[in-house]
Structure 1
Amino acid sequence: MPKSKRNKVVSLTKAKKKDRTWKEGLITQVRNAAEEFPSVCLFRYHNMRNELFKDLREQLKDSSRFVMGSNKVLQVALGKTPADELRTGLSQISAKLAGHVGLLFTRMAKDEVVAALEEVHEEDFARAGSAAGQEFKLAAGPLSNATGPLPHTLEPTLRKHGLPTKLNKGVVELLADHVVCRAGQTLDPNQAALLRVFGVKMATFRLTPLAWWSSDGDVFEELNEYDGNPDEDGEPDSGLMEDDAAAAAAAAAGEQQQGDDS
């Protein structure tokens, strides 16, 4: 009897599983970049915002290449110890690959790279799972945000997110004082949604240069200490690393083709 098609599992995500081919391609890409570019900067990202990061990639594409992915895979590519490091000193960069970090291979001078990364600073709305930067509370009475009184169509949404509200002649009113969040509290989806409605931004997308390696003398230098905060939001999504994935797959395919030709 043929299998029923009704029980067929359909994946609703477009993200492709990072299989061995992808990982091997990423390793090849990192090693090629290490040979092509004279310097590497390890950076830490805070509250990642993909579109803003893509803009930075575009600005620096003629002189630099960003690579982000599994820290473990990147460590393998660079080498974990002096015995297996790709180039002298790169294992020191590898040792600091932990948390929300990425690599920037570049032809730019160190001061130029540091300035370019530290210039990135954009306020945005915090996401669920991140820590509230401050307390935010609402007083009982008519509700408004920076643009004026809230439209009456928002009232059901506000109640859905936990606010005790009602409509009074078309005006959205809060029935009692309400604390949306307290400083340091981990935000849930309802709190994050309410902060967005009232225009309260508690997240800052920024980049911090952590370490620098140069092939000129194989010099390694620490630039800043890792100041990782597990409560920050912004893990890069699959779309952010599409270029890396494509390059990794192409590199792996190229190596395979060379092997077949030989």
Structure 2
Amino acid sequence: MPKSKRNKTVTLSKTKKKGREHKEAIVNAIKETAEKFSSVFVFSFENMRNKKFKEFREQLKSTSRFFLGSNKVMQVALGHSAADEIRPGLHKVSKLLRGDAGMVFTNLPKEEVERLFNQFEEYDYARTGSTATEKVELKEGPLEQFTHEMEPLLRKQGMPVRLNKGVVELVSDFVVCEEGKPLSPEASRILRLLGIQMATFKLHLICRWGPDDFELYMQGPDDSDVETN
């Protein structure tokens, strides 16, 4: 008997891929924004946390506009060379949009932007695959920070634990993670349970462009072709 088409499962989570129209909208938005603001900064980021970044962006909403996404799309908008740049000197900014980077157009004074970016630092729990910043080792004995209900969960993470008169106890020393090595999913969960935060969300300024000047803050091995004046 043929299968009824009425019973066909429909996935509602499918989303439409961002196509040409979306990219063109971003390019046009960047071009319009470049005409409205006095300067633009390129920045890099590490250990991105979307919620924290949104809060930082909201803080500057009245004076600035951020763009974070496809570097290639942003490069097209700014121009790849002096021949197709949208304002004089912006092709230098385009060349520095690489890796985990974004840009912010702003009317704030240069010193204020530098202060805000240099002061921004948020600590959070490290994710699976992140590099451990220190060695964490738990010694044999009672783990009084955990309730007895958590014993099965800890055991599931590979910890050699048991219940001793209602108290969670390590039956031997246990290394959660080693400094400089990637965190396993289990190590990441244990660190969260222990309240140990190893990830630091930071923003680093790379360059600044203004109508009359260009300044490089961080120079990498591939930036030798970027003119600074």
Fold agreement, TM-score > 0.5: yes
Per the TM alignment, residue 32 of structure 1 is displaced from its structure 2 partner at its CA by 1.0
Aligned to 2:227: none
Structure 2: distance between partners of 1:88 and 1:184: 44
What is the aligned counterpart of 2:146 among 131, 145, 150? 150
Query: 2:5 matched to which residue of 1?
Result: 4
Post-superposition offset of 1:132: 0.7
Distance verdict in 2 for CA 1:16–1:187, change over 3 Å: farther
Q: How does 1:1-262 map to 2 (within 5 A)?
A: 4-12=5-13, 17-144=17-144, 149-215=145-211, 217=212, 219-225=213-219
| 1:60-117 per-position Cα deviation (integer Å, ceiling 9, x unaligned) | 1111011111111111111112221111111111111111111110001111101111
Secondary structure of 1:220's aligned partner:
strand
Deviation, structure 1 residue 26:
0.8
Give the conservation status (yes or no) of the 8 Å contact 1:210–1:226.
Answer: no
Contact 1:45 1:101 in 2 (8 A): yes
SS of the aligned residue for 2:111 comes to helix
**Structure 1 pair 177–43 and aligned structure 2 pair: CA distance change class (3 A):** same
Looking at structure 2, the residues matched to 113 and 50 of structure 1 have their Cα atoms a distance apart, in angstroms, of: 20
Query: Post-superposition, which runs of at least 4 consecutive aligned residues in structure 1 deviate over 6 A?
Result: none
CA contact (8 A) 1:151 1:172 kept: yes
Distance 2:166 2:16 in 1: 48
1:165 and 1:53, CA in 2 relative to 1: closer, same or farther beyond 3 A?
same
What is the alpha-carbon root mean square deviation over aligned residues? 1.9
CA drift at 1:29: 1.1
- Measured at CA, do residues 16 and 52 of structure 1 come closer, stay the same or move farther in structure 2, by a change above 3 Å? farther
- Kindly state the Cα deviation for residue 224 of structure 1 after the two structures are TM-superposed: 2.2
Provide the rounded CA distance (Å) in 1 between the counterparts of 2:28 and 2:7.
42
**Which structure has the higher relative contact order (CA within 8 Å, separation 6+)?**
1
Amino acid at match of 1:44: S
Aligned residues: 220
8 Å Cα contact 1:44/1:226 also seen in 2? no
CA contact (8 A) 1:132 1:187 kept: yes
Structure 1 residues 76 and 5, CA, compared in 2 at 3 Å: closer, same or farther? farther
SS of 2:214's partner is: strand
Give the secondary-structure state (helix, strand or coil) at the position aligned to 2:29: helix
**Aligned-partner Cα distance in 2 for 1:33–1:47:** 27
Shift of the alpha carbon at 1:17? 2.7
Uncovered stretches (5+) of structure 1, i.e. residues with no partner: 228-262
1:4 Cα offset (Å) = 2.7
Deviation of 1:16 (Å): 5.2
With structure 2 as the length reference, what TM-score do the two structures score?
Answer: 0.89
